[in-house]
Amino acid sequence: MRRRTLLQALPALAGWTSLDASRAAERPRIRIGLTAVILADQVAFLSRWGDYLSSRTGASVTFSARESYQEILDLLFSGQLEAAWICGYPYVLQQTRLELLAVPIYEDKPLYRSYLIRPASKSNGIEGWTDLKGRVLAYSDPLSNSGWLVPQAQLRAAGLLPRDLRRGFFAHGHRNVAEAVAARLADAGCIDGYVWETMRRQKMTAAERTEVVWRSEPYGFPPLVVRKGALGELTQQLRLSLLAMSQDVEGQGLLQALNLDGFAQEPGGIFASIEKLAAEQARVS
């Protein structure tokens, strides 16, 4: 009797499963690309953040981590992503194709700095940019403001050209820059100050084994952007969901993990200094 009841129920269960799958398929997708976040549990964190934004936008929000900004841009402009968390440098280069979604707030401001770091404990004689002649320098990414663009300007100001270094190389990520310097694979490294400070806060070994010898002026914090026309009305829903994260307990927990105060809607003008550096770099390249 029980078997007969179960068999009779199976078609109904199958119907509900199909209906649920159909409804899930009908939900709009928001695929967000980003470079690696500074967390040991990155996959779990991005899943939680995606679920949080999904529940508030009504869309299916997923995050996709990639090694470089160029990979993210390629996916974004080929239609495989709708949004991305990128650096201010690629934003100013591609701003005609992108719409600002939100800018993170760090230490009460939508700003961050570029750092020059060296191995800690034992000085290697590097006190600033002029000391890099004949040394090995680690960069983050060719499209990173703090990890490449700012350093190029500082090398020029110090009267140095890239060929004056013993070697320069890309570590493909700010955390990797710190690890390369800590392991003495590089004499110094160019890193996002927010990333280094967050690594130190999380007591990561690479931050504890390096120290800051130079800090830049403030620049617009790496923004979240949307490919123009990709999301329509969902753009505003996603923006509002990000802006409201600091207003509820779950959102605050996610922000705390990222070492951020929140997100804000900022004018593109906060990236003017990066745009100026990009123009200078284009002239000398």
pLDDT in tens, the chain (285 residues): 444 443 454 444 444 444 444 455 579 999 999 998 777 688 999 999 999 999 999 999 999 999 999 999 999 999 999 999 999 999 999 999 999 999 999 999 999 999 999 999 767 899 999 999 999 999 999 999 999 999 999 999 999 999 999 999 999 999 999 999 999 999 999 999 999 999 999 999 999 999 999 999 999 999 999 999 999 999 999 999 999 999 999 999 999 999 999 999 999 999 999 999 999 999 998
- The ranges assigned to domains in the chain are 28-110+220-272, 114-217
- Residue 25: predicted pLDDT: 58
Domains 28-110+220-272 and 114-217 are alike in CATH topology? yes
Indicate the class that CATH gives domain 114-217: alpha beta
CA 239 to chain centre: 17
Q: Which CATH superfamily is domain 28-110+220-272 in?
A: Periplasmic binding protein-like II (3.40.190.10)
- Residue 41: predicted pLDDT: 80
- Residue 123: predicted pLDDT: 76
d(CA 244, CA 46): 18
- Residue 16: predicted pLDDT: 43
